């Protein structure tokens, strides 16, 4: 009995189709201006990949900020629960999950059964999130991959003092104008995100295996800096961006079992 999880985030939308715990398809598309259109598109692609028709899906759970207006969902569950569930399914030693997406970052604590026992989320703005990174990369006229590549080359860090994305951007622009090496500015940007994330992690307390999910987990420089700052190893799954959708799909399977009793 195939089921699906849909994670409609501010920047990316994922669909995972699952049957008896086995992943039949995992799709990532960008959300764009219309989250419903993105969800439809990702779903269509996932169905094609798994060779299924819409009617074959027995249960669908939507998550992410777009969950409230998700088409086709039987149930809506927050990213908090879904990322927790997804991460735990990949490694049952996980007790702490850091999810940094496009506009939200959160730290989730799990107990030994994988149940969420505490969480904190960033406050109301893009500071310390993927979007922040993208804006800064744009100001530096480079892409995220180049940012990742440059960071280790820095011998010093330039401090970025503004938390606000808009101010930080103009700060970066003036740092470039003042002639600071780009890798040092990159390091400064990374440090500012890492500091924010670490203080959130400390709020809930880091325990057990720490897994990072969400698109920013693909940013090797951030993961490395976070690791150094927290002093523990961070596990990054093969495809961190779909963990929320995977969690939603797993919850859909459980939901289906319950429904069928």
Partner 1 sequence: MLDLIKKYMAREKGPDMLRRPAIYSLGQAMVRYNLLKFPYRATAMMVEYGLEQTKKVYNRRLPFVWTSAFFPTELLHAMGIPAFSPEIAAALAASLGFQGNFLREAESRWWGRDNCSFHRCAIGGLFSHYYPLPSAFCASSHLCEGAVLMFGSLARVYHRPFMLLDVPVEQEDDSLNYVIGQLKQIISSLEEITGITLQNGKLQEAVANAEGTRRAMQEINELRRHPYSPLTSREAFSYLYLNFTGLGSRAMLRVYETLARELEERIREKKTPEKPLRFKLLWLHLPPFYRNNILEYLEEKGARVVFEEFNHVYWGAMDVSRPLESIAGRMLSHFSYGHISRRIEIIKELAADYNVDGVIHFSHWGCRQSCGSLRMIRDSLQKEGLPFLVLDGDCIDNRNYAPGQVQTRIDGFLEMLA
In the complex, what is the shortest distance from the CB of residue 20 to ligand ATP, in angstroms, rounded to a whole number?
27
- Helices (DSSP H) in 27-151: which residue ranges? 35-50, 79-90, 130-139, 144-150
Select from 102, 237, 247, 255 the one that contacts ligand ATP (CB under 6 A).
Answer: 102
Choice between 9 and 240, CB closer to Mg ion: 9
CA-to-CA distance for 259 and 7, rounded, in angstroms?
Answer: 22
Query: Does 132 engage in binding with partner 1 (CB under 8 A)?
Result: no
Question: Using CB under 5 A, which residues numbered 79 to 138 contact Mg ion?
Answer: 101
Give the nearer residue to Mg ion in terms of CB position, either 66 or 188: 66
Which range, of 113-121, 128-136, 164-172, 223-231, touches partner 1 by CB under 8 A? 113-121
63 near ligand ATP, judged by CB under 6 A: no
What is the b/e burial string over 135-173, where b = at least 16 CB atoms within 10 angstroms of the residue's CB? bbbebbebebeebbebbeebeebbebeeeebeebbebbe
Number of amino acids touching ligand ATP (CB under 6 A): 23
User: In this structure, how many other beta carbons lie within 10 angstroms of the beta carbon of residue 190?
Assistant: 25
Beta 105-110 vs 59-63: how paired, if at all?
A: unpaired
10 vs 96, which CB is nearer to ligand ATP? 10
Q: Which residues are within 8 A (CB) of 109 and not within 5 positions of it... i.e. 6 or more apart?
A: 95, 96, 116, 117, 118, 119, 204, 205, 207
> Residue 54 binds what, of partner 1, ligand ATP, Mg ion, none (CB under 5 to 8 Å, by partner type)?
none
Q: Which of 35, 81, 148, 157 binds partner 1 (CB under 8 A)?
A: 81
- CA-CA-CA-CA torsion sign (232, 111, 218, 201): negative
Q: Which residues bind partner 1 (CB under 8 A)?
A: 65, 68, 76-81, 115-121, 123-124
Q: Which residues bind ligand ATP (CB under 6 A)?
A: 9-12, 31, 64-65, 79, 101-104, 130-131, 133-134, 144, 214-216, 218-219, 241
């Amino acid at each position: 009995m195939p089921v699906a999880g849909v994670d409609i985030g501010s920047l990316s939308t994922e669909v995972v189709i699952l049957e008896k715990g086995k992943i039949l398809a995992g799709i990532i598309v960008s959300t764009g201006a219309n989250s419903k259109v993105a969800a439809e598109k990702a779903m269509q692609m996932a169905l094609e990949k798994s060779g299924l028709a819409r009617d074959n899906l027995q249960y669908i759970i939507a998550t992410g900020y777009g969950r409230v207006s998700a088409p086709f969902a039987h149930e809506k569950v927050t990213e908090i629960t879904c990322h927790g569930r997804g991460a735990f399914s990949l490694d049952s030693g996980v007790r702490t999950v850091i999810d940094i997406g496009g506009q939200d970052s959160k730290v989730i604590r799990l107990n030994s059964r994988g149940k969420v026992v505490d969480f904190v989320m960033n406050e109301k703005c893009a500071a310390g999130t993927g979007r922040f990174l993208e804006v800064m990369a744009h100001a530096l006229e480079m892409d995220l991959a180049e940012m990742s590549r440059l960071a280790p080359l820095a011998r010093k860090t330039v401090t970025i003092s503004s938390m606000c994305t808009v101010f930080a951007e103009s700060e970066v622009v003036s740092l470039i104008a003042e002639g600071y090496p780009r890798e040092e500015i990159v390091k400064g940007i990374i440090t500012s995100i890492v500091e924010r994330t670490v203080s959130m992690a400390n709020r809930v307390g880091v325990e057990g295996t720490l897994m990072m999910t969400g698109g920013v987990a693909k940013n090797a420089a951030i993961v490395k800096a976070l690791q150094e700052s927290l002093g523990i190893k961070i596990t990054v799954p093969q495809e961190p961006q779909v963990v929320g959708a995977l969690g939603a799909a797993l919850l859909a399977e459980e939901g289906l079992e319950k429904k069928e009793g």
